[in-house]
Amino acid sequence: MMNKNNVFYKLRLFIFIAAIFLGWLVYANYTGWRVFSFGSNNAWSSRGPGYHK
């Protein structure tokens, strides 16, 4: 059980949140995901109306 005076304990919530954001950053960079990018990247499936032979 971590001591409640331990700084990591006090910051556990922040560390958790920061870890999630860090994970998001790493995932986005790794997969080439341009976050919050709308409209410049239209993709559609060949099953839909824009099928290209």
Question: Nearest approach, Cβ of 37 to other proteins (angstroms)?
Answer: 6
- List binders of other proteins among 12-51 (CB under 8 A): 13-15, 17-18, 21-22, 24-26, 28-37, 40-46, 50-51
**C-alpha distances out from residue 9 to 17, 18, 20, 28, 40, Å:** 14, 14, 17, 29, 43
Per CB under 8 A, does 6 bind other proteins? no
Element (H, E) at 18: helix 12-31
By CB under 8 A, name the binding residues for other proteins. Answer: 5, 7, 10-11, 13-15, 17-18, 21-22, 24-26, 28-37, 40-46, 50-53
